[in-house]
Amino acid sequence: MSTFFCPLCETHSDAFLPYGLKPRPNAMCPVCKSLERHRLIWLYFKERTNLFRDKLRMLHVAPEKLISGKLKELSNLDYLSADLSMASAMVKMDITDIQYPDNSFDVVYASHVLEHIPDDVKAMRELCRVLKPSGWAILQVPIYGNRTLEDPNIKTPEEREKIFGQHDHVRTYGHDGIYKTRLEKAGFDVMVDSFVKTLGPDKAARLGLIASEDIYFCTKK
């Protein structure tokens, strides 16, 4: 019996591959190249949301190629991907100044985006503005360490990589609650869902998930 299973490409593998600047073991599916966060969100979409059954208009910011391709195939979705510079996105969009009216989307999904945005609160407000009152958003960021680190004076790629872990990050969100507080100030009700822990350690390990990664499930106040 194979040790690992990828819920995105639905394949079994004897091993997942290491990945990252400091390589994480069992991080990348050898078949579809999904990482832990991709597998987690896909499983969450399927098991905890209405994404696969209801007629929904969805905004996907900074679309991950694998996930975007699968979402486009869903006949129940009116799907739109957007990014400021990504050529594969369907429209060009600055998430601090979104070109769509209030209450435009049933679903908003953005993963590992807000740590790149200098004015993250403005972006959060815009994402909240275009979300319908009955809708939901999942807004994921990497969260490391005890406290949030940011400094507008840190501007060079070299400095940012040293302080924030990546050359194009402008902050590192920490386990101090600041990320959740900013989302709430932007107009969201936020449920921090430890979904991965409900799977149990054996299943989480088989799926190649990070046991400490939470889902930030947001609705409009």
Task: Answer yes or no: is pLDDT of 1 > 60.
Answer: no
Name the β-bridge partners of 61.
Answer: 82, 110
pLDDT at 136: 98
The average pLDDT across 139-146 equals 94
Task: Answer yes or no: is pLDDT of 34 > 70.
Answer: yes
What's the CA gap between 132 and 147, in Å, rounded?
32
pTM beyond 0.85: the answer is yes
Of residues 161 and 82, which shows the higher confidence score?
A: 82
Task: Answer yes or no: is pLDDT of 218 > 60.
Answer: yes
Task: Answer yes or no: is pLDDT of 168 > 90.
Answer: no
Of residues 157 and 18, which shows the higher confidence score?
A: 18
Q: Residue 71 — φ and ψ, nearest 5°? A: -70, -35
The average pLDDT across 163-180 equals 89
pLDDT at 58: 98
pLDDT at 88: 92
What's the CA gap between 156 and 76, in Å, rounded?
44
Helix (H, G, I), strand (E, B) or coil at 86: coil
Token readout for 159 is 């400095």
For residue 9, count other CB atoms closer than 10 A to its CB.
17
Mean pLDDT over each residue of the chain, to the nearest integer: 95
The average pLDDT across 135-151 equals 94
Angle between helices 120-130 and 178-185 (to 10 degrees): 50
Contact by Cβ (8 Å): 106, 56 = yes
pLDDT at 207: 97
**Class of the domain covering 55-200+212-220:** alpha beta
% of the chain surpassing 70 pLDDT: 100
Task: Answer yes or no: is pLDDT of 165 > 90.
Answer: no
